Chains A and B, each alone.
Chain A
Amino acid sequence: MTAVDPTLDRPLDPPVRARRSFAARVASGAAGGVLRLFLILVALIWMVPTFGLLVSSFRDPTDISTSGWWKVFTAPGQLTAKSYSTLLKNDAITSSLLNTVWITVPATLLVVVIGAMAGYAFAWMDFRGRDWWFLVVVALLVVPVQVALIPLSDLFGKIGIFGDIIGVVLFHVGFGLPFAIFLLRNFFAEIPRELLEAARLDGAGEIRLFATVVLPLAAPAIASLGIFQFLWVWNDMLVALVFSDSQSQPLTVALQQQVRQFGSNIEVLAPGAFISMVIPLAVFFAFQRQFVSGVMAGAVK
């Protein structure tokens, strides 16, 4: 995470070291060795589970059922992309992957746009009860999604969008908004007043001010929010499990149904899990900095 925080790599031992005795240096060298060993061990423990599934996804089902994935170290010939090609020919999986996209993209865009508008109003507009309204938004930050599952399935049922992608998107928008407004309002409030006043004097209206001055300045915060919300929705299973049907279900729900027969269908689950992980991991590696700040700010969720 160099990009995230280069300062964490500061050299540690101050010049004092030069004056240490030989014995002390040997002792601290040994301690350093133990420390390195420990950290390498931890890193291995953290990598092995994912690695195991990755290897399994590239093995033949018959190999999987007869031996552990670590056998590929001695028999690398077992590796095959067969499971992936089978999976990508499976209509249920490919259409659920598309559903994931159709749910995630609008749910992210809507939260960013609507959240930015409200955040701007809370930061720079004057209206009665502004602070009270904002308190309500902050209060909603920690509301668990579980509390809305039953009410919204009743409501969506009544207006006929239960089982529809729209319902899933709406749910994510509703529960994404408090954080979006909170984060962006704080960021907008930091914009120097003079900047806005200057634009105003140039004759910019409220909407132009928002679109051409405020939004571009807030690009870093919007990126963090966008990435955070994108991953949140992409990775969601619970909301989609309740609000989607077999036509509109995203990849997580489609895979979840396979888990019930775990063991007999690892050739679907392993590659399926990796396909669902590709986008989040790409986003993670490409936007580490924004992701980390989004996660840190989003700790409340």
Chain B
Amino acid sequence: MESQRNHPPAVTTTPVTLTTGRPRTVTGTRWWVAGLFLLPALVLLGSLVVYPIGYSVWRSLYDADGSGFVGLENYGDIFTNDATLTAVRNTAIWVAVAPALVTALGLIFAVLTERVRWGTAFKLIVFMPMAISMLAAGIIFRLVYEQDPDQGVANAIVTSVHDAFVDSSVYPKARPAPAGDLKASGGGSFTSTGTVTAGTPALLPLVGIAPNKLPGTPENAKAPGASGDGVTGTVWLDFKLGGGGTKGQVDPGEKALKGVKVEAVKDGKVVASATSGADGTFALPADADGAHLRLPGSNFTGAYNGIDWLGPTLVTPAIIGSYTWMWAGFAMVLIAAGLAGVDRNLLEAARVDGANEWQVFRRVTVPLLAPVLVVVLVTLMINVMKVFDLVYIIAPQPSQDDANVLALQLFLSSFGGGGNYGVGSAIGVLLLLLVLPVMFVNLRRLRKERQR
């Protein structure tokens, strides 16, 4: 980093630069001494890296157990088989989305942290995930994405935000008492079979909840009083601990159900509605005369349970989110190092010329950082093509097929019970082909350096 500070542009080309031209030998080395120094490396590279490439190419032309030559069939299989096709599609999504997202965040963080005094602490926090294993990150995010809002913090936040804006139902398990007049009417609603008349109190007894499980401190239910031309009634829990009382009647000690929505329905149309008060009573206007009373299903639906992060549709975006968490620090640190080398006078000149901060960022900073941004993007693309651990760990078994990526498919088809080395090798070769352009760029830059 010290040297990065003095020669910031070096960062932009670190992966591929040769720092000097060809250094000449100190004095005549005997060839066998050079051979001695090189031998272990060349033997290991040859047998552990080069030989496997050749073997994979050859093996990819044979069938599952290697007994019959099948030509390019395994490659055709990758693009026709449903499982591998999902993997191809998801890898494409990863490559298209993750590097850009991570680089953009890294750029934003790098630029913004320059403006606060505790920027270093911030960088430390964001960079930390780079040090831990994908497995640990996977376990961390498995917990974050747990469906149960009482386990996963993501859904805990989502549900509390949701409940702050949307009334959640209070009595998910309540149902009409047999003694009453209410019958299920579809969509979770309950409707009275008879009609109500103004001046005659309507009784809407419910059961299904234990009195001591009611939210808050419920008041005792109050029998509705007759009131002039409107329709009045009571919604209450027709049951009390220890039993007793008359079914269908508001007995002393039975608890009121407050906040229940009551609708008056005539010919399928809602003509009036009210909500029960703390003592369980409600009052509808005179229009309700002759209507059926309905308790809409919204009173009884289960509580909102958050987002199914690891279900089939969201599993890939969710895992990309955890990848972003891991790698944003990498992008940020590289970009920050590049930023340290940007000539401040250029930015200041733009400001003096009347550019606002956004324009300075957009027209001066970003173009100056372009080489670093390209290196970061390319690096992340190579990295993302090979993503395996995060998907393998975070995607639960039922969504694994939906989250599948090439590296995972290679593992599954060859080692995860598939036992098909033919397709596995073909996927391996495909992954190698995908990084070949980067290999050539590396080599070309290297040769250019040498010719200088």
Which of A78-86, A87-95, A252-260 binds B?
A252-260
Closest to B388 in A: A238
A246 within 8 A of B: no
Contact of B56 with A by CB under 8 A: yes
Tell me, yes or no, whether B414 is within 8 Å of chain A by CB: yes
- What chain A residues lie within 8 Å of B35 (beta carbons)? 127
Given contacts A36-B116, A173-B44, A178-B45, contact A260 B397 (CB under 8 A): yes
From B131, B138, B140, B150, give the contact of A280 (CB < 8 A).
B131
User: In whole Å, how far is B16's beta carbon from the nearest beta carbon of chain A?
Assistant: 7
Within A152-174, which residues are at the interface with B (CB < 8 Å)? 152-155, 170-171, 173-174
Question: A295 and B132 in contact (CB under 8 A), knowing A117-B41, A238-B389?
Answer: no
Chain B residues at the A interface, C-beta cutoff of 8 Å: 1-2, 4-5, 11, 14-20, 22-29, 31, 33-35, 37-38, 40-42, 44-45, 47-53, 55-56, 59, 109, 112-117, 119-136, 138-144, 146, 149-153, 156, 325, 330, 333-334, 336-337, 339-340, 348, 375-376, 379, 382-383, 385-386, 388-389, 392-393, 396-397, 407, 410-411, 414-415, 421, 424-425, 427-429, 431-432, 435, 438-439, 442-443, 446-447, 450
Q: Are B337 and A273 in contact (CB under 8 A)?
A: no
Task: Fill in one digit per residue for A200-214: 1 if any B CB lies within 8 Å of its CB, else 0.
Answer: 100000100110000
Whether B48 lies near A173 (C-beta < 8 A) is yes
CA distance A56 to B153 in the complex (A): 12
Whether A135 touches B133, Cβ cut-off 8 Å, given contacts A50-B140, A173-B48, A296-B4, is: no
Q: Smallest distance from the beta carbon of A205 to chain B beta carbons, Å? A: 9
Residues of A contacting B146 in the complex (Cβ-Cβ under 8 angstroms): 263
For B385, list chain A residues within 8 Å (CB): 144
Tell me which of B114, B379, B425 contacts A8 (CB under 8 A): B114
The answer to whether A29 has its CB under 8 Å from any CB of chain B is no
Report the separation of the CA atoms of residues A8 and B396 in the bound assembly, to the nearest whole angstrom.
42
Give the residues in chain B near A196, CB-CB below 8 Å: 26
B residues near A52, Cβ cutoff 8 Å: 140, 143-144, 153
Choose one: A9, A12, A48, A300; the contact of B379 (CB below 8 Å): A300
Query: Given that A49-B144, A297-B15 are known contacts, is A237 also in contact with B432, CB under 8 Å in the complex?
Result: no
**B47 contacts A189, CB within 8 Å?**
no
CB distance from B440 to the nearest CB of A (A): 9
Contact B119 A299 (CB under 8 A): no
The answer on a CB contact under 8 Å between B41 and A118 is: yes
* CB-CB under 8 A for A234 and B129, given A139-B443, A259-B393: no
Which residues from chain B contact A273 at a C-beta distance below 8 Å? 135-136, 139-140
Chain A residue numbers with a CB within 8 Å of B18 are: 186, 189
Contacts of A155 in B (CB 8 A): 47, 51-52, 55
* Cα–Cα, bound, A217→B19 (Å): 17
Do A124 and B25 have beta carbons less than 8 Å apart? yes
The distance in angstroms between the C-alpha atoms of A292 and B29, with both chains bound, is: 36
Taking a contact as CB atoms closer than 8 A, the residue among B5, B23, B129, B431 that contacts A147 in the complex is B431
A269 located at the interface, meaning its Cβ lies under 8 Å from any Cβ of chain B in the complex = yes
CB proximity of A204 to chain B, nearest CB, Å: 10
Chain A neighbourhood of B334, CB < 8 A: 296, 299
In the assembled complex, which residues on chain B have CB atoms less than 8 Å from the CB atom of A58? none
Chain A residues within 8 Å of B425, by CB: 150-151
- CB of B336 within 8 A of CB of A8, answer yes
CA distance A178 to B127 in the complex (A): 25
Known: A49-B144, A117-B41. 18 other contacts (CB 8 A): A49-B140, A56-B143, A121-B38, A126-B24, A133-B42, A136-B50, A144-B428, A155-B52, A177-B44, A186-B19, A189-B18, A197-B26, A206-B29, A235-B133, A262-B142, A263-B146, A270-B143, A274-B136
**Contact A189:B23 (CB < 8 A) given known A53-B140, A149-B428, A300-B382:** yes
**Taking the complex as formed, is A24 at the interface, i.e. its CB lies under 8 A from any CB of chain B?**
no
What per-residue 1/0 map shows which CB atoms of A37-76 lie under 8 Å from chain B? 0110011001111101100100000001011111000000
Q: Indicate if the CB atoms of A255 and B135 lie closer than 8 Å.
A: yes
The answer to whether B56 touches A138 (Cβ under 8 A) is: no
Whether the Cβ atoms of A142 and B1 lie closer than 8 Å is: no
How far apart are B328's CB and chain A's nearest CB, in angstroms? 8
User: Do residues A177 and B396 form an inter-chain contact, with CB atoms below 8 A?
Assistant: no
Q: Chain B nearest CB: distance from A60 CB in Å?
A: 14
What's the nearest-Cβ distance from chain B to residue A48, in Å?
Answer: 6
Minimal beta-carbon separation of B304 from chain A (angstroms): 16
Query: In the complex, which residues of chain A have a beta carbon less than 8 angstroms from the beta carbon of B333?
Result: 1, 4, 292, 295-296
Q: Which residues of A contact B56 (CB under 8 A)?
A: 147-148, 150-151
Residue of B nearest to A71 (CB): B150
- Which of B5, B26, B130, B432 is the one whose CB lies under 8 Å from A200? B26
User: In the complex, which residues of chain A have a beta carbon less than 8 angstroms from the beta carbon of B2?
Assistant: 289
Check if B140 sits within 8 Å of A2, measured CB to CB.
no
Interface check A20, CB cutoff 8 A: no
Q: Indicate if A181 sits at the interface (CB-CB under 8 A).
A: yes
Considering only CB atoms, which chain A residue lies closest to B416 in the complex? A241
Q: How far is the CA of A36 from the CA of B122 in the complex (A)?
A: 11
The 6 closest A-B pairs by CB, nearest first: A174-B48, A235-B133, A151-B52, A118-B41, A126-B25, A284-B131
Contact indicator A299/B22 (Cβ below 8 Å): no
**Are A143 and B49 touching (Cβ within 8 A)?**
yes
A14 within 8 A of partner (CB):
yes
Complex: how many Å from CA A299 to CA B128?
16
Q: Which of A46, A138, A146 contacts B431 (CB 8 A)?
A: A146
- Given A42-B126, A126-B34, A135-B446, answer yes or no on A235-B15 (Cβ-Cβ < 8 Å): no
Against B, the Cβ 8 Å flags (1 = close, 0 = not) of A244-287 are 00000000100110011011001001101110110011011000
Q: How far is the CB of B161 from chain A (nearest CB, A)?
A: 15
Cβ of B26 to closest chain A Cβ, rounded Å? 5
CA distance A256 to B25 in the complex (A): 49
Query: In the complex, are the beta carbons of B15 and A300 less than 8 A apart?
Result: yes
Q: A7: CB under 8 A from chain B? A: yes
Please name all residues of chain A whose beta carbon is closer than 8 Å to the beta carbon of B25 when the two chains form the complex. 124-126
CB contacts (< 8 Å) of A66 on chain B: these are 150
- 21 contacting pairs across A/B (C-beta < 8 A): A1-B127, A5-B340, A8-B119, A49-B141, A117-B38, A117-B41, A138-B16, A142-B382, A142-B438, A144-B386, A147-B52, A147-B431, A148-B53, A178-B49, A186-B19, A190-B19, A190-B20, A231-B131, A252-B133, A274-B136, A281-B132
Residues of A close to B131: CB separation below 8 A: 231, 280-281, 283-284, 291
Question: In the bound complex, do residue A234 and residue B52 qualify as a contact, i.e. CB atoms below 8 Å apart?
Answer: no
Contact B34 A125 (CB under 8 A): yes
B449 CB → nearest A CB, Å: 10
Verify B336–A5 contact, CB threshold 8 A: yes
